[in-house]
Amino acid sequence: MARKAAIIGGGVIGGGWAARFLLNGWDVGVFDPDPQAERKIAEVLANARAALPALSDVPMPPEGKLTFHGTIGEAVEGAEYVQESVSERIELKHKVYAQLQQSNPGVLIGSSTSGFKASDLQKSAVSPENIIVAHPFNPVYLLPLSEVSGSPANPPAIVEKTVQIMKDIGMFPLVIRHEIDAFLGNRFLEAVWREALWMLKDGIATTEEIDEAIRMGFGLRWGQMGLFETYRIAGGEAGMKHFMAQFGPALKWPWSKLMDVPEFNDELVDLVAGQSDAQSGMYGIRELERIRDQNLVGFLRALKERNWGAGKVLREHDERRAAAFHATLDTGPKAVPLVMAQMQVLPGWIDYNGHMTESRYLFACSETIDNFLRLIGAGMDYVAAGHSFYTAETHIRHLGEAKLGDRLTGTIQILSADEKRFRSFVRILRGEDCVATVEQLCLHVDMKVGKTVPAAPEVWGKLKAIAEAHAGLPLPEGAGRAVGQKKE
């Protein structure tokens, strides 16, 4: 049974939360009195469906069920977690919490608030211990950070439960040590925003020039190393102490106006809005969102390949989900083709025609064979010890077209085997339809001497048992065919 989250408030942030939960397999109930809420969330969800799977290297879980409700009580029914994302009005939030705790006593409530402390949110609540801050960054469905901030009223178990739910949907929960207005991220951003407004108001730079300074320079460094690690490197071989000695005195120079605020008036608003619209107004908001998402996917994929920063969070989330998928695979000899892989056609798998590209059919076969090798004891530990099965021959047939989002199953039938080789027939299935078959001959090799040798007795024993179980199966249609051979 799918887990359920309730989303109260379906704006940009609430819609992002809904997408994050849905695409990670949770059912989601939404309450928002805005008559446009369903349309807005549908547009956010469409962007998320195009972006979030592109960060994954394992199949996404089946998407959860999205429902919209006319009352808070209906939305929260059966939910184990609530994400509140209503307007930043404390009295409104208190009213929402009262209704939530009346409708679903004991439910855990996380708030997307950008500035209120948990203790502010908890005032007058029936169960203050179940209300906590879980502050995200936009777009919620891509950026992993969730600032988890509690108060003395929150027992450790509630903080731990919130942290685990965030991890379950692929986020990075950062627990704030002490209550503080605006938490960590927004305090930092407020300082940068304030200084940017002064430079704009004083005519020193335009909105575009300020953005260029960030995205062409230090913003790229911050995205992978943050502030302190960046400055530690700036100190050279002597490290942070040298940096502090060199640049520390600058803290007393009158560079910034962080303790002063420009008057917030119509003139300032018009100045900012006018330049900002001129800077990127040729793009619609949804188009800008898609451009942003595509760029973020590229950055995050690069970090993921290097297991660094936010990319490490993505890789760990993949590993947890991969373990769950592997638990569904066959684990021993059966007189039927063994199910060895569950896959999904991801954005990076398709070609210019919108179909799964040829190399990915071979990748799907490799995933199936690799899981089979692990099953018989010839996984990576076996390879590290100096032995492996090498592919000697491959014959692939393309029988159908797999498209973006299709869920695929890889099965294997052993056609013949001895101590030094096995011949396999892999089917790539989309439901009941076979979209490709791959026939392979694999040889067992001693990698140190580069020669074919008998497999280890325990490996051959497991392979032999499966080969014997498959010996009575009919020869698959297409097995042994030559390339271009006419069908009979």
235 in a labelled binding site: no
Cα distance between residue 140 and residue 152, in whole Å: 27
Asked if residue 480 belongs to a known ligand binding site, the reply is no
**Beta-bridge mates of residue 6:** 29, 82
Q: Is 10 annotated as a binding residue?
A: yes
Full DSSP string of 168-232: HTT-EEEE-SS--TTTTHHHHHHHHHHHHHHHHHTTS--HHHHHHHIIIIIHHHHHHHTTHHHHH
The reply, when asked if residue 219 is annotated as ligand binding, is no
Q: For residue 200, with 0-12 CB atoms within 10 Å meaning exposed, 13-18 middle and 19 or more buried, which class applies?
A: buried
CA-to-CA distance for 335 and 347, rounded, in angstroms? 35
CA distance 26 to 63: 7
For residue 262, say if its preceding peptide bond is cis, omega within 30 degrees of 0: no
DSSP 326-350: HTTS--S--SS-EEEEEEE--GGGB
CA atoms within 13 Å, Cβ hemisphere of 125: 29
- For 115, the 3-state DSSP assignment is coil
Listed in sequence order, the residues at least 6 apart from 405 whose beta carbon sits closer than 8 Å to its beta carbon are: 49, 53, 344, 345
* 12 marked ligand binding residue: yes
Q: Find out whether 154 and 33 touch, Cβ atoms under 8 Å.
A: no
Q: Is 214 annotated as a binding residue?
A: no
The residue with tokens 């704009």 is 200
Q: Exposed/middle/buried for 203, CB within 10 Å: 0-12, 13-18, 19+?
A: exposed
Residue set of the binding site: 9-14
Residue set of the binding site for NAD(+): 9-14
